[in-house]
Amino acid sequence: MCNLELLLPAGSLEKLEYAVRYGADAVYLGVVDFSLRAMRKGDLITFDNLSQAVNLAHSLGAKAYITINIFAFNNDIKLLEASVDRFKDAKPDAFIISDYGIFNLVRKYIPEIPVHISTQTNTLNYESVKFWRDLGASRVILARELPISDISEIRKNVPDIELECFVHGAQCVSFSGRCLLSDYFSKGERKANHGNCSQPCRWSYKLVEETRPGEYLEINQDGRGAHILSPKDLCLVKYLPQLIDAGIDSFKVEGRTKSLYYVSAVAKTYRQAIDEILQNPNADLQKYFTELQKVGNRGYTTGFALGDNNGESYSYNISKGLAGADFLCEFKGADSPDEYNLVKIKNKVLLNDEVEIITPDEQFRAVIENIKNSDGEDLPLGNTNDEVYIKFSKQPKNPKYALARTIGVKLYAS
């Protein structure tokens, strides 16, 4: 069995490094065509840098799992057979797989790499877990629809396999993410299971009665329609002790398409929560829930974990995640002789703004005392996407991985 693991998404090399430095024990990553989060723009992880990504994780003392968790058509199988050497050469710590055919190919061509069974397989009971164990899997990622009591029963019946579960992040309206809405609405051009979901569950809907075409009936009374299919985000930070007692080995965070700030802040919060729980199982975890309100979310829910999932688990009024704190700037790791930090502005900052600075090892408040451009000229503000030099009233001990955000938590109606 593995030690208790915090598993974070790695949507890019940079996010991978920040995730680990902010507290992740392991990361999961994928490439276009074989992953459910296959971004096609930006700083991507591809076959060209896949080995580099795995090596980077290993150099930082973390594990790296590669997702090949699509359900494969014949063409996908042929593509995988042509690509299998590139996956093998990357030498990940495990592959995350959902398709039986892909499972067979990976066990045939890369038998030395462990296999983790994706949540896409909808594993809900101990007999299913036994099936995957007997087939050679070393870990099963359980369905998100399981209450903690069922997880405990699975562990009692199958003590000799690793169990992983999601504890944080966006959820899908369908069963364990197996949704066809995007496929239908896009006429097959935006396949959810092939990393290209258009997220129709986040759209606003109105009701039409069959015999009255063109007459749109409001589902609610504010005139905007309703996001009737859009679940709130999962947050189980306050229930980590129960999950540990139930026998979970790895806590997984969703979010390969999320921002650098999101990955860093969530990793830091769960790392601190887990470490405190291991020292004091009865610790008050509310402060960590408050911290997680500072990152983008659609409102939080415990989902099915407590066995009482209901209409309150849906975000009827918003579909886009709203952060309780604005991400202001990313430190670029360069200091000037007079204690100015080079930063990349993410949201506009002004002189005398009070901000909160977080690093892998620190969290404190500071005031923006001065802003300069690259020519040394004083500026009244820093605009989004600018790179400027800022002097803070308090400096981080190691600015290389520091981030700054607004103070406090803005709460939104959900």
Q: In angstroms, rounded to a whole number, what is the distance separating the alpha carbons of residues 295 and 325?
A: 6
Q: In angstroms, rounded to a whole number, what is the distance separating the alpha carbons of residues 165 and 155?
A: 12
Pairing mode of beta strands 387-392, 349-350: unpaired
CATH number of 5-176+230-313: 3.20.20.70
Question: Looking at 34-114, which runs of residues are DSSP E strands?
Answer: 63-68, 94-97
Give the alpha-carbon dihedral of 360, 7, 180, 38, to 10 degrees: 60
The rounded Cα 361 to chain-centroid distance in angstroms is: 21
Amino acid making up residue 218: E
Residue 222 has pLDDT above 90, yes or no: no
DSSP state of 329: E
Tell me how many degrees the CA angle 271-277-282 measures, rounded to the nearest 5. 150
327-405 sits in which CATH class? mainly beta
Provide the pLDDT confidence category of residue 199 given band limits of 50, 70 and 90. Answer: confident
Of 94-98, 170-174, 216-220, which gets the smallest average pLDDT?
Answer: 216-220
Residue 41 has pLDDT above 70, yes or no: no
Burial track 104-124 (b if 16+ CB lie within 10 A, e otherwise): ebbbeebeebebbbbbbbbbb
Q: In angstroms, rounded to a whole number, what is the distance separating the alpha carbons of residues 332 and 122?
A: 42
Q: In the chain, what are the domain boundaries?
A: 5-176+230-313, 327-405
pTM of the model: 0.88
Q: In angstroms, rounded to a whole number, what is the distance separating the alpha carbons of residues 276 and 278?
A: 5
pLDDT digits (tens, 9 = 90+) for 358-413: 999 999 999 999 999 999 999 999 999 999 999 999 999 989 999 999 998 987 54
